[in-house]
Amino acid sequence: MKQLIRDVPERFPQAEQRAEMQMLEYLDQYYEIEKILAVGKNIREYSPYVSYPVNTWIKKDEEIFKTLMRINGYKKPTKLEYWRQVVDFVDPRLIDHAHKYSQLRMYPKGEIVKFGTEYWQCMIPHGFEKGDIHMPGVKAWREAEIIPWEPNMEWEKDQVCSFNEQFYQYLGEPETEEPIENPDPLPEETEPTEPSPDDDDPEISLQDEEEEGGGESNEDEQEPTPDLPADEIVLTPEEDDRWGLIGEYSEELEYDYSEGVFDYVVAEGTVFYPVLNPNPDELVDGVNITRDDPRNANIVAHLSRIALYHLHSIISATNIPETRRWAYEDSIQWLYNASKFKINPQLPRKREHDSCAPKVDWALETFQRSYDPNENPWLI
């Protein structure tokens, strides 16, 4: 295919547009071909920045899937106000022409959209093509209160301070392990000894007691005096283990948004913590997505044949393979037969405004609804 387009990817949409125009020329009068083509156009490549509702079709790895559950997307922290709810008087024409909000569009400044039952006005240009999606009224991050660090201050757990152009989270006092108390050892039993003859001499025993007393007094005199208490050392958040450095926001990390948990991040020069789920959900086949193609099989087959024929004609109009030409002629014949009601293309029909009956050709309508030849001049 790369050799066919010769490294010019713009030829694909050109061929698709030509095939779509031919489809409309043949089927637009009696069939809802615009709605059928819109089904395929609304299938976009999966983006982790988009939050998908239930029963939405996405494209991933060249396959089409249907969402079974709500799939969450990235939500970046920001202190900018992208949307403002319309509560004051605005031009009624803007309200009347307001479109429903879609994550797949680009929004200029001042545009008003309808989101649920409320109206919102865009304050900063953003959108899908820029990879910067912000839903009206949805704020998954909340800005934290920052206190400049000062020594000898009392801090509570999870408070945030600023020091040397960086932000730190107070982790609290470190937990100390209580020492295990060993049981007192049992006294050892001493063997009885025979009394010596010197023990009976009172003078010798008295002299020994005086020597022992004199030794104890000398030991007391040699004990050093205790040192005076030194001043306490002040530790900064960079040196104190009770403080943790807060890192920058990264899409590669998963953040905890549980109640009572403060998973701080730094973005746009300030600190945020999540209050809603800011992480994208993982796509798992059979759990939150399933393989399903909502497109009409006949339209997909014939549109592909016609588009491939036009792709060859754009590159070299005089060098189209015969197989492509035969396939193109078969598809054109199918479109002609469908437009003349010679076949049933399995497509929804347009209906009359007054009777809500399916639209048919003029000749078929006259012949089917009135069998009197006098009322059909073309039969006389």
The pLDDT tens digits of the residues spanning 207-261 come to: 555 555 554 444 445 555 444 444 567 788 888 889 999 999 999 999 999 998 8
How sure is the predictor about 57, in pLDDT bands with cuts at 50, 70 and 90?
A: very high
**Residue 55 within a domain:** no
- Tell me: do 88 and 120 sit in the same domain: yes
Question: What is the sign of the dihedral through the CA atoms of 353, 358, 363 and 366?
Answer: negative
Please list the residues that pair with 159 across neighbouring strands: none
- Tell me: do 91 and 130 sit in the same domain: yes
- Tell me: do 343 and 303 sit in the same domain: yes
Top mean pLDDT of 1-15, 148-162, 182-196, 323-337 is at 323-337
CB atoms within 10 A of CB 12: 14
**Residue 212 within a domain:** no
Q: What is the pLDDT of residue 376?
A: 58
**Residue 177 within a domain:** no
| Distance of alpha carbon 122 from alpha carbon 107, whole angstroms | 7
Residue where one domain finishes, among candidates 116, 139, 162: 139
- Tell me: do 272 and 152 sit in the same domain: yes
**pLDDT tens-digit profile of 121-144?**
999 999 998 889 999 999 999 999
- Tell me: do 108 and 8 sit in the same domain: no
- Tell me: do 300 and 345 sit in the same domain: yes
Residue 87 has pLDDT above 60, yes or no: yes
Extract long-range pairs of 303-310: CB within 8 Å, 24+ residues apart.
Answer: 303/16, 303/19, 303/20, 303/23, 305/330, 305/331, 306/18, 306/19, 306/22, 306/23, 306/331, 306/332, 307/15, 307/16, 307/18, 307/19, 308/15, 310/14, 310/15, 310/18, 310/19
| Number of domains the chain is built from | 3
| Distance of alpha carbon 65 from alpha carbon 290, whole angstroms | 5
How sure is the predictor about 313, in pLDDT bands with cuts at 50, 70 and 90?
A: confident
**Residue 57 within a domain:** no
**pLDDT tens-digit profile of 321-365?**
899 999 999 999 999 999 998 999 999 998 887 778 787 765 555
Q: What is the pLDDT of residue 186?
A: 54
- Tell me: do 168 and 264 sit in the same domain: yes
Question: Residue 110: which domain range?
Answer: 83-139
Q: What is the mean pLDDT of residues 105-132?
A: 92
How sure is the predictor about 35, in pLDDT bands with cuts at 50, 70 and 90?
A: very high
Q: What is the pLDDT of residue 161?
A: 94
| Distance of alpha carbon 124 from alpha carbon 110, whole angstroms | 8
Residue where one domain finishes, among candidates 91, 123, 139: 139
Residue 5 has pLDDT above 70, yes or no: no
Angle 83-89-95 (CA atoms, 0-180°, nearest 5)?
65
| Distance of alpha carbon 51 from alpha carbon 69, whole angstroms | 11
Crossing angle of helices 322-339 and 11-27, in 10° steps, is 30
- Tell me: do 242 and 259 sit in the same domain: yes
**Residue 225 within a domain:** no
Q: What is the pLDDT of residue 230?
A: 47
- Tell me: do 301 and 332 sit in the same domain: yes
Amino acid found at 140: A
**pLDDT tens-digit profile of 272-308?**
999 999 999 999 999 999 999 999 999 999 999 999 9
Q: Both tokens of residue 164?
A: 């040397």
Q: Are 271 and 160 in contact (CB under 8 A)?
A: yes
- Tell me: do 273 and 158 sit in the same domain: yes
- Tell me: do 274 and 154 sit in the same domain: yes
**Residue 6 within a domain:** yes
Q: What is the mean pLDDT of the chain?
A: 83
**pLDDT tens-digit profile of 163-187?**
999 999 999 877 655 555 555 555 5
- Tell me: do 133 and 90 sit in the same domain: yes
pTM over cut 0.85: no
**Residue 242 within a domain:** yes
